[in-house]
Each structure stands twice: as C-alpha cells, then as structure tokens.
DNA sequence: CCTAAGGTCTGTAGTTGCTACAGAGTCAAG
DNA sequence: CTTGACTCTGTAGCAACTACAGACCTTAGG
C-alpha cells in the first residue's frame, strides 16, 4: 500500500492529476488511511501507467474511459478497441493536415514579405484579405 | 452603421464571438443605439476579417492583439511582424511533429493487433507498458 | 393599436485536461 | 515540541470560444 506521492513517481502522473482522475471518476475512489490519505496498490499503478501512456498517444479521457472499460471485459472481441484507435488516428491525421495547410499558407505569406515598414508589410496585408488569395491585387 | 448580425455575416465571425472579442478588449467598445445595440462601421468589419483570417492561420488571440497593435503603427519596421509569424510557424511545426510521432506509434501499435479477444489485444497490451517498446516481450 | 417574430442585450456556465494555489490537517525525525 | 515534508479539500485559472436563460427592442402584418 502506497501513498499518492509514491504512486505519482511510479506512474508518471502528477499528484494533482491523479486526484483529478479520481474526481472525474476515471479512477474509482481508493481506500483511505484513518487520517484520510489515499491508499494505493500495484494495480492502481498499472491503471495510471495505462492512462499516462494513452494520453501520450493523444487519446482523450473519454476514449480512455472506454478503453479501460473494455479492458475489464476480456471475453469481448477487440474490434471496439481497434475502432477507437482507428478513429483517434483519423482525428490525428485531420489535425496534421489542418496544421500543414496553415503552415503552408503561413510560409507563403511570410515569403512575400521583404522587410521594410509595417505600412508595406505583406504579412499584415495578407491578413487583411479573405482566405483564397495566392497573392494577386484586389481590383 | 450596422448591427452586429450584419457584421457577423460580413466578417465571418459569430455574433457571440464578436461580443467576446469586445469583452476581452481585443476590440474597442463600439457606439450604441439608444436601445443599447452595438453599432459598427466598415472599419470594424476590416478588423474582424483580419482577426478571423489570423485565427484561420492559427495565431493566438495574444498574437493577434500584438499584430493589430503593430498594424496601427505603420512607421515601425515590420520585423516584429515577421518574428511573430516565424515563432508561430515554429510552434505549428512542433505540433505537427508531435502529432506525427503519435500517429506513427499508434499505427505501429494498431498493426500488431490481429483481431481476437480483448484478452489478447495487443493495442491494450501496448498501452499497459511504458513508452519505448517497439514490441518485445517484457521479461 | 396589438401581437408575433426576429434581433439584440447581459450574465453565466460549459467545454478539455489539467495546474496552481490557499488553508488546514498529519506524520516522522531531531 | 517544533520543523519540514506530505497530504487533504475546494476553488480558480488557462484558450477560445459556445450555449443558454431571461429580458428588452423593433418592425411588419392584421
């Protein structure tokens, strides 16, 4: 049986984060000492490592909630796990594409700026006009 | 002079968002009708389009605040604008890299799963172990 | 003149996943 | 018995909105 500080070290989750997970019921409430200190066992460390790792991979806490629930039903087919993972991966892909298109536009905009004063700054100029605009004068 | 609904249509910003920008002082308070309705002019549409475009490119509202402040000082050199843009671009790059590494790990993990029951699910298995783990049995 | 529909107002709470206190209690060592 | 380290609860903050509730205003139609 360990206190939360030890669990924090072993799981990689901050103390406040562990308490937060308990508060949102991602973790069940633990046993307590007479003084009210939370008591943990090895099993909790495993759970927290699982959560920590899943967070590193970008899963939302809702995803993780589902994954943990599935994990506790070993006889089910693992399709649902794959589905969650696949969907998450697609979300990441979309975010990457979104960021890539932003980066491309930004580079384009930034490249058009050749120093000088703000009055002539092409970056600010580009921001003043609607999206399209691979340059070009507006009539 | 226009009311906020018209401004919303012309700028692409939601009504609530426009009010929000005013509340956080990204926009100066506008004139009002006797009944208290906000009144806008062409100039405000320009400002909101600027903000909207900058948001599309991922700039934070703090960045935008600075950009707008710079914009109003046309005699300054545009270095600061370039600096903000450059820094923002780097932030985007980092996020892309982070997402890419997550995606790669996720694909690796997902590929190792060959169906079956949750008890044997490799995805959940991989989440149970710390980061490294290009597979491999843990002794 | 009255009503109904649509626009607008303020203020507040919710979203996500934490993080950072304040203020109080607990515990072990010296 | 005091000091320091640890823990507790509860609350507020972050970013950038979004979504109400409940009230007020305006205008067109009957």
Is the CB of residue A122 less than 8 Å from the CB of residue A112?
yes
Which has the higher per-residue pLDDT, A119 or B115? A119
pLDDT for the residue numbered B92: 97
Residue A31 host element (H or E)? strand A31-32
Mutation choice for B interface testing from A59, A70, A103 by most B CBs within 10 A: A103
DSSP secondary structure code for residue A38 in this structure: E
Q: What is the pLDDT of residues A28-38, one digit of tens each?
A: 999 999 999 99
Q: Where are the alpha helices (DSSP H) in B57-78?
A: 61-71
- With tokens 């549409």, the residue in question is B45
CATH 1.10.1740.10 fits A1-58, yes or no: no
Q: How confident is the model at residue A131 (pLDDT cuts 50, 70, 90)?
A: low
Q: Which of B127, B129, B130, B132 to mutate to probe the A interface, most A CBs <10 Å?
A: B127
Percent of chain B exceeding pLDDT 90 equals: 81
B1-76 folds as: Multidrug-efflux Transporter Regulator; Chain: A; Domain 2 (1.10.1660)
Which residues of chain A does CATH 1.10.1660.10 include?
1-58
Q: Is B2 left (phi over 0), alpha (psi -120 to 50) or beta?
A: beta
Q: Is residue A120 scored above 80 in pLDDT?
A: yes
Tokens of B129: 């172990």
- What does pLDDT average to over chain A? 92
* pLDDT band per the 50, 70, 90 thresholds, residue B65: very high
Per-residue pLDDT at B133 exceeds 90: no
Q: In the structure, what pLDDT confidence band is assigned to residue B116 with cuts at 50, 70 and 90? A: confident
What CA–CA distances, in Å, run from B29 to A105, B9, B25, B32, B36? 32, 19, 8, 9, 12
* Confidence at residue A136, expressed as pLDDT on a 0 to 100 scale: 41
The DSSP 8-state label assigned to residue B112 in this structure reads: T
Locate tokens 């298109």: which residue? A101
Chain centre distance of CA B106:
24
Return the nearest residue to D26, CA–C1'. B35
Q: Among partner residues B95, B121, B128, which is closest to A50 by beta-carbon distance? A: B128
Q: Are B49 and A128 in contact (CB under 8 A)?
A: yes
- CA nearest to A119 within chain B: B74
How far is it, in rounded angstroms, from Cα B103 to Cα A85?
10
* Secondary structure of residue A52 in the 3-state scheme: helix
Confidence at residue B137, expressed as pLDDT on a 0 to 100 scale: 41
By the 10 Å C-beta count (0-12 exposed, 13-18 middle, 19+ buried), B38 is classed as buried
Across B83-110, average pLDDT: 96
In the three-class reduction of DSSP (H, G, I as helix; E, B as strand; rest coil), residue A9 is classed as helix
Residue A137's pLDDT band (cuts 50, 70, 90): very low
Instruction: Provide the angle, in degrees to the nearest 10, between the axes of the packed helices A4-11 and A15-23.
Output: 100
Give the sign of the dihedral formed by CA A103, CA A109, CA A112, CA A115: negative
Taking residues B102-116, report their average pLDDT. 89
Closest CA relative to residue B23, chosen from B60, B53, B61: B61
Asked whether the predicted pLDDT for residue A138 surpasses 60, the reply is no
């Amino acid at each position: 049986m360990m206190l939360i500080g030890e669990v924090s070290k072993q799981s990689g989750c901050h103390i406040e984060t562990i308490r937060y997970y308990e508060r949102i019921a991602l973790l069940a409430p633990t046993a307590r000492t007479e003084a009210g200190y939370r008591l943990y066992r090895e099993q909790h460390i495993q759970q927290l490592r699982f959560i920590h790792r899943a967070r590193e991979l970008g899963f939302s806490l809702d995803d993780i909630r589902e994954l943990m629930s599935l994990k506790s039903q070993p006889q089910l087919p693992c399709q649902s796990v794959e589905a969650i993972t696949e969907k998450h991966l697609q979300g990441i892909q979309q975010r990457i594409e979104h960021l890539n298109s932003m980066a491309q536009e930004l580079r384009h905009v930034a490249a058009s700026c050749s120093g000088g004063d703000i009055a002539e700054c092409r970056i600010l100029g580009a921001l003043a006009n609607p999206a399209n605009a691979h340059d070009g004068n507006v009539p």
